[in-house]
Amino acid sequence: MRPFAIVLLLFALLPCGASASVHCEDDWICIDEVRHGDTIELLARNLQDYPLTFTLRVRTRSYDVDGDRRLTATLGPGEQRTAVVLKPRPEFAENYYSFDVDWTVGDKDANHDDDYVYALPYRKGRTYRILQGYGSRFSHRGREEFAVDFDMPEGTPVHAARDGVVVRVVDTHDRGCWESGCGDYANFIVVLHDDSTTGEYYHLQKDGALVTVGERVTRGQLIGLSGNTGHTAMPHLHFAVYRATSGGNTQSIPVRFESADGIVNTPRRGARYQAL
């Protein structure tokens, strides 16, 4: 999942005498080059009111790097910090470097509230079959181990599983497929929880988001309509709770759901659970 998470910033190879530069992507993160004589300071700036986790990779032979060449850190809302400092090595007549950065929403050190019991992401009283539960062999491995796929017809109402703030919305696509790159066509809603984890709702139909970025949503609120967009073989809703990790990635984490039959600790493939 997470087609939006990886953004590449490539800083062209620059001679030491080049002017200072600012590189921003998607109104989320900027990497500023600040020169102090021949020394270069790279600053990371969060442009949003939400935490984000970024990984900056610096490549150079002609500068000494004060800091990690591969740095993963979390920026708080509106925060900026020095990422690395580059000091020219005198044995090189010209100095060059490049960098790239990936980012994703959330805090890499988010402390998930494991006592919280999530609502099932659909209307009260309804039941839907689980196509894939935790650890399903088809595609719920690794970063997606604790995701759940619900068998929902297109246009099924999707409800928030937990309170939070909407931080990402895409609902402009109308294509679903299984080939490489199909994930770029997914429609989704990302909700940032109070503990800086994210609840993510994928494969929504075109124009299927019923909330906007910055909106505060409450548990059980109608937020979207399910669909069949992105990397998908059939209509369904993919839901998971994630913690930010390195390289613009996220890791799903196990959560529990409230149902009419009691607490669901491990959603099982083929099971049906009634929403309360």
* Short-list 133, 152, 118, 146, CA closest to 224: 152
Considering the chain, what percentage of its residues have pLDDT values greater than 90? 88
89 pLDDT above the threshold of 80: yes
User: Given this model, what pLDDT does residue 20 score?
Assistant: 57
Mean pLDDT of the chain: 92
Active site residue 236: yes
**For residue 85, with 0-12 CB atoms within 10 Å meaning exposed, 13-18 middle and 19 or more buried, which class applies?**
middle
- Split at pLDDT 50, 70, 90, the class of 135 is confident
Low-confidence winner among 15-29, 58-72, 145-159 (lowest mean pLDDT): 15-29
Give tens-digit pLDDT for 188-220. 999 999 999 999 999 999 999 999 999 999 999
**In the predicted model, what is the mean pLDDT of residues 13-32?**
70
Domains in the chain and their CATH numbers?
Answer: 22-105 (2.60.40), 117-274 (2.70.70.10)
Give tens-digit pLDDT for 48-79. 999 999 999 999 999 999 999 999 999 999 99
Q: What is the CA radius of gyration of the chain?
A: 21
Give tens-digit pLDDT for 157-194. 999 999 999 999 999 999 999 999 999 999 999 999 99
Low-confidence winner among 23-32, 87-96, 150-159, 210-219 (lowest mean pLDDT): 23-32
**In the predicted model, what is the mean pLDDT of residues 34-45?**
94
SS (H, E, C) 39-88: EEEEEEEECCCCCEEEEEEEECCCEEEECCCEEEEEECCCCEEEEEEEEE
> From the candidates 159, 193, 236, 238, which is the catalytic residue?
236
Amino acid at 118: Y
Give tens-digit pLDDT for 118-131. 999 999 999 999 99
Q: pTM for this structure?
A: 0.91
Low-confidence winner among 30-44, 69-83, 132-146, 201-215 (lowest mean pLDDT): 132-146
CA 137 vs CA 73, 128, 140: distances in Å: 32, 20, 6
